[in-house]
Structure 1
Amino acid sequence: MKASGAAGNGEFFPQWADEAAKANVETLWSAGQVDLEAVIAADPDLIVVASTGNDSAIDNLADFQDIAPTIVVDYGGESWKDLTLQLGKATGMTQEAQETIDQFNAHVAKVKEQIKIPEGETNIVSFNGPGDNNPIGRAGGPHAELLTELGFTIEDPDPSWHNQAKLRNDFVWASYKNLTKLKADTTFILSQDNEGAQKFVKDPTLANLPSVKNGQVYGLGKSSFRIDYFSATEIVNGVLENFNA
């Protein structure tokens, strides 16, 4: 990779920032911005555009196609493994992509044998509190898929809670009040470690949630909001630490 857009703070996501630095990947812009001249200067052989999310530059798709071959990926609707194979095929690295997936699958299988899963269902919440959306992971989303591979059973949020124009495959963007309707015995909080997850636990409105009453609220990891090989590995290792039998 020669260059990439960055997060809103102008930096690469921490789970792979070190790898980007080793590979001398250039930062083209922060999320929400597009600099076509910077793309031209990078002289890419291939451009990859996300179809959704704050970092999506899909509105400039035609501009990118005029510069170099361009593909569109949906990281909200596909697993990171599917995306890895898609990118592997596009870059002529299909074998390397499959080897990465096989290595990860072996790690998941090993961890699954080492953990004891709590009884009941599990939900996944990006907790922002009152006055804001609180995305809840859907059963078909990448976070749910990964936790299911480890043995968890996912509580699927009601799609009618979604308050954006287009229903997504990965999250239901729910209002704060809908969090009180969750029923799972265990909750994972996105983008937080166990310490950060305590904000959810200490919220008085959520005190009667089964997961809070059970004392089974855990951080899924500070880099867990977006699933890729690096963050997925961090999530699996965190689950091992929390549920090691």
Structure 2
Amino acid sequence: MKILLSRLSLLFAMPLLLTLTGCDFSPTDPSLPQTQTAAERGWPRTLITARGPVTLAHPPARIVSTSVTLTGTLLAIDAPVIASGSTSRNSTVADEQGFFTQWSQEAKARHLKSLYITEPNAEAIAAEVPDLIVIAATGGDSALKLYDQLSAIAPTLVIDYGDKSWQQLAQLLGKATGHEADAQRRIDGFGQRVAAVKQAINLPPQPVSALVYYQDGRGVNLWTDASAQGKLLSELGFTLATLPDSVTPQTSMGKRNDIIQLSGENMASGLNGNTLLLFSADDRTVKEVSANPFLQHLDAVQQQRVYAMGPDTFRLDYYSASNMLSSIERHFGRQ
């Protein structure tokens, strides 16, 4: 506690004021001296979030992300993120530090520090002397319960990533950090790769069912055309299968409209695509689906048109979306 209080005293002396709300930004002040660098123009700027307006006096230089989901986008736009919360270590989706495998190497190259595993720690965050803290509004990696403590340490940006594509997050975080150009560069480069992959593949039999398969084999989550996965598939020319009228899906997860839950008899009936694309999955998952006695009668299974999109594709950031494109090229690239 003494450490935390000393850090707070230091941070209160910093010439950086914040009032947080959303993501609208004040235009560049024409009265600013022309001797300023490009990175400094447009500052201070006010951000609008669910917790109210926040004013940043200058581009942040020491960003702490409490959300391992948002950290990947900060890395992708070359924002100065120095430390991050993490998830369970050495899993199918995370490395020995608890960082997602799709950007694990980038995190190591940038010497990103892992602050804690899952449970947010205000003292560990304060010890990094951040000048911007990023919090997820919802999800398992949200530190929203510590908002009052963290906002006393540094400007604290609350972001809801559940209803945004990684491109929208990149633009939002680009404006918040002064890395707008880097964000646009990533978005443009990815768009060019999508166009190239679309020209380089032969589509499998359409339409397709895009899904996450439960490990217990009793149900699936079906991606809708409102999902980031569905939108990317559409950009590549894929068509998502629509549910038969006879299938009544369960209530989608929470208030999400990007996923439909199917279980029991609805599981097989709802997987009516001519091809099955498995997300958050590897080749082992393909074997499990193909061996499921409730799915073996499906034409896609019998014709071996079941493909894994990769273990990191449940939530798409720049890195995992790029890996998804690689999987599609590998499965459907023209010979």
Same fold (TM over 0.5): yes
Counterpart position of 1:19:
106
Out of 172, 177, 191, the position equivalent to 1:86 is: 172
Residue 49 of structure 1 contacts residue 71 of structure 1 at CA under 8 Å; is this kept in 2? yes
Shift in CA distance, 118/88, structure 1 to aligned 2, threshold 3 Å: same
Q: What secondary structure sits across from 1:148 in the alignment? A: helix
Cα offset for 1:200? Answer: 0.9
Q: What secondary structure sits across from 1:204 in the alignment? A: coil
Work out the number of aligned pairs and report it: 243
Shift in CA distance, 52/114, structure 1 to aligned 2, threshold 3 Å: same
Please tell me whether Structure 1 or Structure 2 has the larger radius of gyration of its CA atoms. 2
Out of 128, 131, 139, the position equivalent to 2:225 is: 139
Amino acid at match of 1:115: I
Amino acid at match of 1:167: K
- 2: distance between equivalents of 1:44 and 1:156? 47
Is 2:315 the counterpart of 1:223?
Answer: no
Cα offset for 1:169? Answer: 3.5
Residue 121 of structure 1 contacts residue 186 of structure 1 at CA under 8 Å; is this kept in 2? yes
- 1: distance between equivalents of 2:115 and 2:87? 11
Is 2:202 the counterpart of 1:116?
Answer: yes
Out of 283, 288, 295, the position equivalent to 1:194 is: 283
Cα offset for 1:71? Answer: 2.0
- 2: distance between equivalents of 1:36 and 1:159? 45
Residue 133 of structure 2 contacts residue 157 of structure 2 at CA under 8 Å; is this kept in 1? yes
- 2: distance between equivalents of 1:236 and 1:206? 26
Counterpart position of 1:4:
84
Cα offset for 1:109? Answer: 0.3
Shift in CA distance, 163/17, structure 1 to aligned 2, threshold 3 Å: same
Residue 167 of structure 2 contacts residue 187 of structure 2 at CA under 8 Å; is this kept in 1? yes
Counterpart position of 2:183:
97
- 2: distance between equivalents of 1:160 and 1:58? 31
Counterpart position of 1:170:
258
Is 2:214 the counterpart of 1:128?
Answer: yes
- 1: distance between equivalents of 2:264 and 2:317? 27
Residue 76 of structure 1 contacts residue 170 of structure 1 at CA under 8 Å; is this kept in 2? no
Shift in CA distance, 177/54, structure 1 to aligned 2, threshold 3 Å: farther
Cα offset for 1:151? Answer: 1.0
Is 2:294 the counterpart of 1:205?
Answer: yes
Cα offset for 1:197? Answer: 1.7
Counterpart position of 2:43:
none
Q: What secondary structure sits across from 2:260 in the alignment? A: strand
What is the percent sequence identity of the aligned residues? 34
Cα offset for 1:224? Answer: 1.4
Shift in CA distance, 229/95, structure 1 to aligned 2, threshold 3 Å: same
Out of 224, 236, 243, the position equivalent to 2:325 is: 236
Amino acid at match of 1:126: V
Q: Looking at secondary structure, tell me which structure has more helix per residue.
A: 1
Shift in CA distance, 71/160, structure 1 to aligned 2, threshold 3 Å: farther
Q: Which moved more, 1:3-12 or 1:62-71?
A: 62-71
- 1: distance between equivalents of 2:178 and 2:170? 12
